[in-house]
């Protein structure tokens, strides 16, 4: 199948250690990756936690379909078997970017919408927005959305059954529009989301199955389906 720019081969990348000034977060250990044939093109490579590649990639694809500004994410095809313990993703590195403070990004309508979307999808981390040298703003770091942080490692290593996994089997996490439905600034985003269908995500879900495994595909098929259904419910009687 054609991956149409959503996948990059690890053999095309050269790696070096990378660390953030604030330390390790929900994404675990990070690497800086540069394209071998184009060293100026760089990525932050995330391969240290089981859930990160799937969450980063699917948030990016959902936000992109909603017309919201997020840094591009590619899934990483290992150059050899078991190159990484977990599925990996490469997030576009934005050079010479400044980190926006809360008051700065919340003053930008698209950033406020993205902030609310993150919380609807279960984000409980600090939100990160970068502004590049041209003034373009991007949201980055979506690894703790979608409610699988404490469960996904069991999908990679099935023998590691945990209480979180057992709880997930009893009650899957779902998005929660809740009081966000009353925020006027989100009306257009909800409207666009209500026009989506799972057919719009078939390519992404196929890639999740290939790179992350069937449990990840199944979870995101369910979770994004629930999100679309909730958005549809906002317009049933309007």
Residue with tokens 């760089």: 42
The Cα-based distances of 158 to 81, 88, 162, 231 in angstroms read 19, 19, 10, 34
Query: pLDDT below 70 — which residues of the chain?
Result: 1-4, 19-28, 160, 236-238
Cα torsion at 32, 36, 40, 41 (round to 10°)? -70
Q: Exposure pattern of 90-116 as b/e (b: 16+ CB <10 Å)?
A: bbbbbeebeebeeeebeebebbebbbb
Q: Where are the domains of the chain?
A: 7-235
**Whole-number pLDDT of residue 139:** 92
* b/e code 132-168 from CB counts within 10 Å (16+ = b): eeeeebbbbbbbbbbbbbbbbbbbbeeeeeeeebeeb
Q: What's the pLDDT at 237?
A: 52
Q: What angle do CA 67, 233, 205 make, to 5 degrees?
A: 50
- H, E, C per residue of the chain: CCCCCCEEEHHHEEEEEECCCCCCCCCCCEEEEEECCEEEEEEEEECCCCCHHHHHHHHHHHHHHCCCCECCEEEEECCCCCCCCCCEEEEECCCCCEECCHHHHHCCHHHHHHHHHHHHCCCCCCCEEEECCCCCEEEECCCCCCCCCCCHHHHHCCCCCCHHHHHHHHCCCCCCCHHHHHCHHHHHHHHHHHCCCHHHHHHHHHHHHHHCCHHHHHHHHHHHHHHHHHHHHHHCCC
| Residue-level pLDDT at 210 | 96
Count of residues for the chain?
238
pLDDT of the residue at 38: 95
This prediction's pTM? 0.92
pLDDT of residue 3: 56
Output the pLDDT for position 1: 36
What Cα–Cα distance (Å) separates residue 209 from each residue in 74, 84, 180, 219, 221? 15, 17, 31, 11, 11
């Amino acid at each position: 199948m054609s991956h149409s720019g959503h996948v990059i081969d690890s053999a095309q990348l050269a790696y070096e250690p990378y660390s953030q000034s604030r330390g390790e977060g929900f994404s675990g250990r990070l690497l800086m990756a540069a394209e071998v044939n184009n060293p100026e093109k760089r990525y932050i490579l995330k391969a240290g936690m089981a859930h990160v590649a799937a969450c980063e990639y699917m948030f990016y694809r959902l936000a992109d379909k909603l017309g919201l500004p997020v840094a591009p994410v590619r899934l990483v095809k290992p150059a050899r078997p078991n190159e990484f313990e977990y599925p990996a993703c490469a997030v576009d590195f934005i050079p010479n970017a400044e980190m926006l403070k809360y008051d700065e990004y919340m003053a930008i309508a698209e950033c406020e919408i993205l902030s609310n979307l993150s919380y609807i999808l279960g984000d409980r981390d600090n939100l990160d927005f970068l502004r590049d040298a041209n003034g373009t703003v991007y949201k980055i770091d979506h690894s703790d959305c979608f409610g699988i942080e404490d469960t996904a490692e069991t999908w990679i290593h099935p023998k590691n059954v945990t209480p979180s996994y057992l709880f997930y089997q009893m009650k899957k996490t779902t998005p929660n529009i809740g009081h966000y439905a009353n925020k006027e600034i989100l009306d257009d985003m909800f409207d666009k989301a209500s026009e989506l269908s799972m057919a719009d995500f078939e390519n992404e879900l196929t890639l999740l199955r290939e790179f992350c495994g069937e449990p990840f595909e199944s979870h995101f098929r369910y979770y994004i389906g629930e999100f679309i259904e909730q958005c549809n419910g906002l317009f049933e009687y309007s």
